[in-house]
Amino acid sequence: MAENSPQRVIPLIDQRARAPSAGALTFGALTPATGLLTDRRGRALRDLRISVTDRCNFRCSYCMPKDVFTKDYPYLPHSALLTFEEITRIAGQFAAHGVQKIRLTGGEPLLRKNIEILIAQLAALHTPEGRTLDLTLTTNGSLLKRKAAALKAAGLNRLTVSLDGLDDAVFRAMNDVNFPVQDVLDGIAAAQAAGLGPIKVNMVVKRGTNDHQILPMARHFRGTGIVLRFIEYMDVGATNGWRMNDVLPSAEVIALLQQELPLIPLEAAQPGETAQRWGYADGRGGHDAVAGEIGVISSVTQAFCSDCNRARLSTEGQLYLCLFASQGHNLRDLVRGEQSDAELASAIAHIWGERSDRYSELRGSEAAAPPGDGKRRVEMSYIGG
């Protein structure tokens, strides 16, 4: 950076200001967990994403740009983070309300020391019907080779790896810490060998940056049993310099792939699925199950708010109801206070029951503009993708 060039300053309070305590809710008449909790738009709570750290060893420009997240960036102190026992207690109440899947995220979740202990604790949870939860994790893959076997042994079911290109120069430029792509590929291979699966690979596509990697990525993962998913570059947070011109619509991604690799649409795997599924076609126009499938996540051009069933818990215990939210709800005070599990469950029920978020449907309208009180949308590095 030139000596006199302006430096970018992002106020930290926008994303980490202390949220109103959920404990302020009235606990006189408790709302019990019934296994089916819906919001004001009738959307059931089924998916909980838990950030276990706000730290990452990559500096991807669309998530943690290096000019903002410098070596002097003040990360949360360890005392502010939820302990594994606190996370498990909160997750247990979400399971009682009908959550069926838990995804661990970050930052980079594998940077959280002894994360295998947390995985083992979460793997012991059950739904009201007695089923174990679908326990998964999203990682940049940098530490996966050394940790894959331990993650599987602890009870992790499957994982998703973020990988934005196969060309080493492109990948090193995008992670902005000069990390080699081969180390991530080795981590994916280790995860497959450990039995973690099905594995998904997420590629954030930014027009003019890595869109030329779409076909090489598809060729590489076709027939491997790994599901490659292309994600539209999203306007999450306030630090990534997002512009609509940088978005490559998923429709264009599919059209590009179709030129070489014929695809057919597949049914959604489950309600609330974020990715549209496309299968590689066989010679008769059917789905070639051996070749596999790809997915596209079109949160910019094709909003899926109508059946969004996800809640997000930050590493310090703030509950967010939308990836694009600017305000969370403080659950940490409840688990560190004297409230019972019944009171914690009732608070969660009240928060979700009042939910009406639909940012992607409103994107670009006055209703989607940031609040007038100066708050910015929460950063992806703080609550995960």
pLDDT in tens, 250-269: 999 999 999 999 999 999 88
The predicted structure's pLDDT at residue 241: 64
CATH of the domain at 268: 3.20.20.70
Averaged pLDDT, 277-296: 96
Asked if residue 2 belongs to a domain, the reply is no
Tell me how far apart the alpha carbons of residues 2 and 70 are, in angstroms, rounded to a whole number. 16
pLDDT, average across residues 352-356: 93
> Can you point out the beta strands (E) in the chain?
47-51, 101-105, 134-139, 158-162, 200-205, 227-232, 263-265, 276-280, 293-297, 310-313, 318-320, 329-330
Q: How many domains does the chain fold into? A: 1
Answer whether residue 5 is part of any domain.
no
Q: What is the pLDDT of residue 3?
A: 38
Residue 128 lies in a domain: yes
Long-range contacts of 177-182 (CB under 8 A, 24+ apart): 177/57, 177/58, 177/59, 179/57, 179/58, 179/142
Is 68 inside a domain boundary? yes
Hey, is 125 helix, strand or coil? Answer: coil
Range of the domain at 68: 13-383
Residue 199 has pLDDT above 50, yes or no: yes
The pLDDT score that the predictor gives to residue 383 is 75
The answer to the question of residue 1 being in a domain is: no
- Across the range 101-117, mean pLDDT stands at 97
Task: Give the position of tokens 């060039």.
Answer: 5
163-170 average pLDDT score = 97
Over the chain, what is the mean pLDDT? Answer: 87
- Give percent of the chain with pLDDT exceeding 90: 71
289 within some domain: yes
pLDDT tens-digit series, residues 3-47: 343 333 333 334 454 555 555 555 568 999 999 999 999 999 999
pLDDT tens, position by position, 70-99? 999 999 999 999 999 999 999 999 999 999
Query: Is residue 7 one of the residues assigned to a domain?
Result: no
Prediction pTM value: 0.89
Is residue 147 assigned to a domain? Answer: yes
> Residue 144: which H helix or E strand, with range?
helix 144-154
